[in-house]
């Protein structure tokens, strides 16, 4: 796998992580780098610190697969810097067509993962159903009123980063459910360094713990774990379904109301409850385009 290929995968992951409801872990899965990413994150442990302590910087770099992480992080950063404003503008002005495009992406991703489960057994089918039910429950959950303060910020960082590396579950969407989306965005905009530092520590702790658990599950129980993650993806289709009705709202850092709890509706009902054109034909075309794009990415890079 070339550095350019890893960089492009990072660009795709960054583009996915920008949007609440879409996970960069999904892109890592369909482009064939998920196991390597988990292994690289997992390598940040006591052996790595021991190598640094002894001044063996090159060995420490190789131990964590530094070249891979550097290319990936550069790709993610490039994507966020270049696409964040475009995605935000599309979400503000054309949310329904954009969600339709992401629906096609997620559906194709789920089918790609489904093919990797292998021969089906009752246990694997049960794992698929469990993942589906968990994702559906998360998608339909109301906002949780967390206790404000730095402990809540730490918990938000810990939980959201765990969700971010799971295919089909968005870390930013988890922040919305925890009622911390607005406060964290406000901390970023106002440079509240104490809040950001605690959030980063929580995220780092969660990443170190959860990546080890996922790595262990994928190597000891690969097919059941793949079935579970595939269920997450299928369940997350509710999150990216284009036509939704809001049941609850959350105030953003700019004082604007954002939907916090939504339920999917049919295009005809969306026209009634939202009073807006469901744009059915363009949305169906964008679903097909997103589906085809993922299939092409998987054929190009999925086994690279």
Q: Can you give the pLDDT at residue 175?
A: 76
Domain segments of the chain: what residues? 3-301
Within the chain, which residues score under 70 in pLDDT? 18-22, 84, 88, 142-148, 167-170, 172-173, 176-177, 179, 181-182, 189, 247-261, 301-304
Report the 10 Å Cβ neighbour count for 212: 14
Q: Can you give the pLDDT at residue 180?
A: 75
pTM check: above 0.75: no
**Could you tell me which residues are beta bridge partners of residue 257?**
251
Q: Can you give the pLDDT at residue 256?
A: 61
Residue pair 267/200 in contact by the 8 Å Cβ criterion: no
Q: Can you give the pLDDT at residue 122?
A: 93
Q: Can you give the pLDDT at residue 304?
A: 45
Q: What are phi and psi of 246, to 5 degrees?
A: -80, 135
- For 117-165, write each residue's pLDDT tens digit: 878 899 999 999 998 998 888 777 766 656 667 888 898 888 888 777 7
């Amino acid at each position: 796998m070339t550095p350019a290929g890893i960089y492009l995968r990072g660009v795709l992951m960054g583009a996915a992580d920008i949007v609440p409801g879409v996970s960069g872990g999904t892109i890592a899965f369909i482009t064939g780098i998920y196991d390597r990413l988990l292994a690289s994150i997992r390598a940040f442990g006591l052996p790595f610190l021991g190598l640094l302590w002894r001044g063996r910087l090159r060995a420490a770099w190789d131990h964590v697969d530094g070249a891979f992480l550097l290319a990936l992080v550069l790709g993610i950063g490039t994507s966020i810097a270049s696409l964040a404003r475009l995605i935000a503008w599309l979400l503000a002005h054309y949310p329904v067509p954009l969600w339709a495009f992401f629906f096609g992406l997620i559906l194709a991703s789920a089918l790609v993962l489904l093919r990797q489960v292998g021969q089906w057994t009752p246990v694997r089918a049960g794992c698929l159903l469990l993942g589906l039910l968990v994702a559906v429950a998360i998608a339909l959950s109301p906002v949780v009123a967390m206790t404000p303060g730095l402990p809540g910020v730490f918990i938000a960082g810990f939980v959201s980063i765990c969700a971010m590396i799971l295919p089909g579950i968005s870390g930013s969407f988890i922040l919305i459910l925890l009622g911390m989306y607005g406060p964290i965005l406000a901390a970023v905009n106002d440079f509240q360094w104490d809040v950001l530092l605690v959030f980063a520590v929580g995220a780092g702790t969660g990443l170190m713990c959860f990546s080890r658990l996922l790595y262990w599950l994928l190597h000891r129980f690969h097919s059941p774990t793949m079935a579970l993650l595939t269920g997450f993806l299928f369940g997350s289709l509710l999150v990216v379904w284009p036509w939704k009705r809001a049941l609850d709202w959350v105030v953003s850092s700019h004082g604007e109301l954002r939907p916090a709890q939504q339920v999917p509706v049919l295009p005809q009902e969306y026209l009634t409850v939202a009073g807006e054109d469901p744009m059915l034909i363009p949305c169906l075309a964008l679903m097909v385009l997103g589906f085809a794009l993922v299939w092409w990415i998987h054929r190009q890079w999925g086994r690279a």
